[in-house]
Amino acid sequence: MFILAVSLMQSNTILNNALISVGFGALGIALLVLGHKLFHAIDLGKRLTGIDFKEQIQKGNMAAAVYEGLVEAAFLLGLAYIIGQVVS
């Protein structure tokens, strides 16, 4: 895919530029999904705090749910920013 993108970058038609944008957009989305899966596979929340957030959420602890949601949102925004800077 990278070789195709490099060869398409040499010509300046609108269609080629659209294809490059779609390709890099798909690459960014794939990297974001991969980072999200890796974040959940490592389970950093439990390793860093010693608290099992999934268990706390199942017990009805809303503070744990809000905290977990905010941490995940911050992680995804940060990862999306980094991927956006790398891909562009």
Asked if residue 59 belongs to a domain, the reply is yes
What's this model's pTM, rounded to 2 decimal places? 0.62
Asked if residue 37 belongs to a domain, the reply is yes
Asked if residue 46 belongs to a domain, the reply is yes
Cα 29 to the center of its chain, rounded Å: 7
Asked if residue 19 belongs to a domain, the reply is no
As for how many domains the chain has, the answer is: 1
75 Rama class: left (phi>0) / alpha (psi -120 to 50) / beta = alpha
The range of the structural domain enclosing residue 74 comes to 27-87
Asked if residue 22 belongs to a domain, the reply is no
Asked if residue 67 belongs to a domain, the reply is yes
For 38-82, the pLDDT digits (tens) are 877 887 667 777 888 888 889 998 998 898 888 888 888 988 888
Asked if residue 62 belongs to a domain, the reply is yes
Asked if residue 17 belongs to a domain, the reply is no
CA distance 27 to 37: 15
Tokens of residue 27, six digits: 């690459």
